[in-house]
Amino acid sequence: MNWELQVYSGAQHGFTNPANAAEERADREYKIAIQRFFKDIFGI
């Protein structure tokens, strides 16, 4: 089983409403990661 852990340093839990630069970066990066995940899993 393959797995991956995404760690976003400087971001607090629940960073979809960014409060600082680290959370803004984490918000951008997680959106890219979730799109890649859906493509890998569902082919979309």
- What pLDDT shows up at residue 17? 87
Report the chain's terminal Cα–Cα distance, integer Å.
21
Spell out the SS3 assignment of the chain.
CCCCCCCCCCCCCCCCCCCCHHHHHHHHHHHHHHHHHHHHHHCC
Q: Considering Cα of 35, then 36, then 41, then 44, what sign does the dihedral take?
A: positive
- What pLDDT shows up at residue 4? 87
Question: What are the structure tokens assigned to 21, written together?
Answer: 């630069």
- What pLDDT shows up at residue 13? 83
- What pLDDT shows up at residue 2? 83
- What pLDDT shows up at residue 27? 93
- What pLDDT shows up at residue 22? 93
- What pLDDT shows up at residue 34? 93
Tell me how long the chain is.
Answer: 44
* Binned average pLDDT, 10 residues per bin, the chain of 44 residues: 88 85 93 93 88
